[in-house]
A = this chain, B = another copy of it.
Amino acid sequence: MADVSLTTRPGHHVPATRGEQTAPAAEPSWDLIELLFFAYRDFVGDPDEVLAKLGFGRAHHRVLHFVNRNPGIKVADLLDVLKITKQSLGRVLKQLIDDGYVVQREGDHDRRQRLLYVTPAGEALAMQLADLQTTRISRVLGELGPSGGEAVRRFLAGMINAEDRDRVLRMIAGADRARLRRRDGAR
């Protein structure tokens, strides 16, 4: 592959000063700032193409993704995860429902709630999009080895706002466990 010759050139952007724990002070991390921009752009680019053919955008992807990952999620919790407003969600959610990718069910105990689930078509689409992104990720992780992958996970988790970090990590772990239960558990 492109043999990344970004090996922090001594004396450049990584200050020898050991105080870089918190302070930018010296030289900005230009390379990582720009790598994050380009990497994220291409990371979401693959799904974008598929979605465009269905008349959907990135917002639809996010909603579909989190509903697929958290079947039965409440609207309020989805708003909390996505950090968007009810109105923004409503528009894309309505389209996903009208097009048969998502369904709503009344809550068992609280009939005000509209619990969200993907339909078979919704799951198929969500999985297709996740597979596209997984292909890109796996190729790179394979070149890094397990310890590199672990460093990447720790880096990304650390980049999340401290207030949200634990909740996000719990959600990821929780959805994984639930998926496993659904897959090989009794149903």
Q: Which A residues form the contact surface with B (CB < 8 A)?
A: 1-10, 12-17, 19-26, 28-43, 45, 62, 65, 68-73, 76-77, 80-81, 83, 103, 105, 108, 115, 117-120, 122-123, 127, 130-144, 146-162, 164-169, 171-176, 178-185, 187
Contact = CB atoms under 8 A, between A and B. Distances in A.
A160 to B, nearest CB: 5
Contact of A69 (B21, B30, B81, B156): B30
Given A33-B130, A157-B6, A169-B2, A24 B70 contact: no
Contacts of A77: 2-4
Closest 9 CB pairs of A and B: A140-B158, A148-B151, A28-B130, A35-B156, A39-B159, A24-B134, A24-B131, A2-B80, A151-B151
Given A8-B149, A83-B41, A165-B2, A33 B142 contact: no
Count of identical protomers in the assembly: 2
A2 B45 CA distance: 29
Given A8-B178, A15-B182, 6 more contacts: A6-B70, A12-B105, A20-B142, A35-B156, A38-B160, A40-B159
